[in-house]
Amino acid sequence: MAKGVHVSDHVIRSTGETPTTHIGLRSWVQEIAELTRPERIEWCDGSEAEWQRITDQLVAQGTVVRLPKRPNSFRAATSPDDAVRIVDRTYICSQHREDAGPTNQWRDPQEMRATFGELFAGSMRGRTMYVIPFSMGPLGGPISQLGVEITDSPFVVASMRIGTRMGTAALRLIEEQGSFVKCVHSVGAPLAPGQADVPWPSNPVKHLAHFPETREIWSFGSGFGDNSALGKKSYSLRIGSVMAREDGWLAEHMVVLKLTPPQGEPRFVAAAVPAGCGKTHLAMLGPALDGWTCQMLTDDMAWMRFDSAGQLRAVNPEFGILGVAKGNGESTNPNALRTMHANTLFTNVALTDDGDVWWDGMTEQPPAHLIDWRGQDWTPESPQPAAHPRAKFTTPTSQCVTLAPEWDDPQGVPISAIVFVERRSITVPLVTEAFDWAHGVFLGACLSVEPSSRALQQAKPQRDPFSMESFLGYHMGDYLRHWLEMGRTVEPDKLPKLFSVNWFRRDSAGELMWPGYAENARVLKWIVGRVNGDAAAHDTPIGKLPPVAAIDTDGLTVTDEAMAQLLAVEPESWLQEVELIAEYLDGFGDRTPPELWEQHRALVERLG
């Protein structure tokens, strides 16, 4: 990283050989440098020595503190106005407004580029501009893709090193293959000569924009999480979904698990899990079933492609786990806590007096004293939470204590089933198998989530098709059509089976009826049985459901009567549901695939 260039107000002067032969990349880097006017440029190589320099620099400037209780780990505290994703300022800048669809915020690409031209002009003065070549997916894999992020944040460099396959090896692949996704980021806090920096530089003006036609991502003003480490949601899903549609594959917001029964072959299952529905718990599931093992391949993203034999195969495009700390505790997800034992970046968690981190719910008993995420003294009597509700951790995937050995296979793993996780207190049964691929896409399109607060559970459920509503780079109607078309590219008997699950159903007293957490493996056991052809099911108006006896409840306190309710199909409730589904599908206008309206009509007819 020592080689680079210095930038003056009028000319960029080389101070060493730029470490690439890629003319297009060299030209683009110079173009961004001319716009942003950094003091110097560094090309990141992903080495251990570089990590040490970057983290030492972050410690020296007060951005992070070392955690003596966790080797090679650090805690950062953002400024209070830069602690969440900038959802309201995240845009899809497609050439035509209608191509962004109703689930995205659209900005005219020319207007957005003009805005960025003003904001980025001189935005890196007094700072180093880092050039980060990276691969999403295993290096050189058939499903993998390449990118380069330019940033003036050393914290982003550290985050990208954990989260992506970053450095010289990725640069060599870019030189071989030619193309790459362009990512530009600035915290928007230029430094005048002699001006002291602050621990967490940012700008009150914040924008995150995606240009699908040119495969570019631009971010300004924020140094937090997904707003700045652009390999995460921005590349993996928003731009990745556009690339997948154009090139005939799938970029999905999904967990991938390896489920192995006591006897028999392992099965790989993908699951779309909306926010607040237990994604990290599912990814690191410790099954409460004797002899069964559950291993993680991805915790958040899955890129999938049908191979030449018609088998859908999935890879993890990420190299690290970037998750929300809240909800991961000793009693709820001990595997997550074990995974982040070292080599981890924490953001906006609290600090303990002995140099460790803590967040609300991490342990049953809170510490007697903490320094909260705002830098204030905190005790259990304090009215505010100790950690920010969106406090983050970033840790290497390779440290996951339940990691499957195939997680880094460039060819990907064969997917046998895809699951859509819903959160509904009524109506939706514990588990439903789709009749076929088109019906399964209908189930995924109708995926719904109720607010987690009991006081709000009577509100209209929110649709989150395939758990992608917040992360899709184009029109949702076209996305659903793409899924239908993908199912027509191979023989029906080679397609994965599709399922809906709902382990959040409640009884008349408002209590959860299914124990959840590790016991969810019992539902996955039935799904594996359906893939293997040795688990019972019967047809209902909404899909194939297990009889009560088909779900293994040995050792549970769940009664047969409760299981019958968990697996019930209530026509009156479903007739109300189909009206809500029709209202949602109608929102996509003439881009709603006709096949989904056919599925809707068939459901109404089956309900009688």
Catalytic positions, written as ranges = 277
Spatial separation of the C-alpha atoms in residues 351 and 372, rounded to whole Å: 6
**Which tokens is 50 given?**
């570089």
**Which tokens is 596 given?**
């989904």
Spatial separation of the C-alpha atoms in residues 240 and 559, rounded to whole Å: 45
Spatial separation of the C-alpha atoms in residues 448 and 436, rounded to whole Å: 20
Cβ-based neighbour number of residue 77 at 10 Å:
25
Spatial separation of the C-alpha atoms in residues 225 and 85, rounded to whole Å: 7
DSSP assignments along 147-188, one per residue: EEEEES-HHHHHHHHHHSEESHHHHHHHHHH---EEEEEE-S
Work out whether the CA dihedral 212, 217, 219, 225 comes out positive or negative: positive
With H, G, I as helix, E, B as strand and everything else as coil, classify residue 416.
Answer: strand
Nearby residues of 452 by Cβ (< 8 Å), 6 or more positions away: 276, 423
Asked whether the beta carbons of 139 and 170 are under 8 A apart, the reply is: yes
Asked whether the beta carbons of 7 and 41 are under 8 A apart, the reply is: yes
DSSP lists the bridge partners of residue 371 as 351, 377
Rounded to 10 degrees, the C-alpha dihedral 320/322/327/328 comes to 30
Q: With residue 112 as reference, give the H or E element that holds it.
A: helix 109-120
Asked whether the beta carbons of 403 and 296 are under 8 A apart, the reply is: yes
Asked whether the beta carbons of 188 and 205 are under 8 A apart, the reply is: yes
Spatial separation of the C-alpha atoms in residues 592 and 586, rounded to whole Å: 7
In single-letter form, the type of residue at position 362 comes to M
In single-letter form, the type of residue at position 232 comes to K
Asked whether the beta carbons of 77 and 375 are under 8 A apart, the reply is: yes
DSSP lists the bridge partners of residue 256 as 270, 298
Spatial separation of the C-alpha atoms in residues 315 and 259, rounded to whole Å: 16
DSSP assignments along 276-344, one per residue: TS-HHHHHT----STT-EEEEEESS-EEEEE-TTS-EEEE---SEEEEESTT--TTT-HHHHHHTSSS-
Residue written as token pair 């293997």: 532
CA distances from 44 to 47, 151, 213 (A): 8, 11, 27
- Using alpha carbons, select from 181, 185, 207, 186 the residue that is nearest to residue 90: 207
Asked whether the beta carbons of 530 and 497 are under 8 A apart, the reply is: yes
